[in-house]
Amino acid sequence: MLIRIVKLTIHPDKIDEFKSIYEANMAFIKDKKGCEKLELLQEKGRYSNVVMTYSYWNSEEDLNAYRDSDLFLKIWKTVKPLFCAKPEAWSMERKFEL
């Protein structure tokens, strides 16, 4: 399983708009082949405009197919203007679980 973590820093006055867009599209992302789980985490303290998306994929091929899809391009085009810093992303593999 591949876990994709993306850190997004949103303009503070646009965070509610971002969360609305994400929530409206979660089911569509989840329906993509190989997507097992989605999470949106928001920093609780001083940097509440920082969010992390966690998406769990069966394979890198499934993630790449989503990233090449019209759905991803549509969502990215909508949320990209809301960013106030360059996104950071990691593809992680779970090694241990308790």
Taking only the tens place, the pLDDT of each residue in 15-54 is 999 999 999 999 999 999 999 999 999 999 999 999 999 9
Taking only the tens place, the pLDDT of each residue in 47-57 is 999 999 999 99
CA dist 98 and 92 (Å) reads: 17
Q: Residue 51's beta-bridge partner residues?
A: 8, 42
Model pLDDT, residue 98: 86
Rg of the chain over Cα atoms, rounded to whole angstroms, equals 13
* Placement of tokens 């499934």 in the chain: 62
Domain boundaries, the chain: 2-92
Architecture of domain 2-92: 2-Layer Sandwich (3.30)
Where are the strands (E) in 1-98, listed by range? Answer: 2-9, 35-42, 50-57, 88-93
Model pLDDT, residue 8: 98
As a whole number of angstroms, the longest Cα–Cα distance in the chain is 39
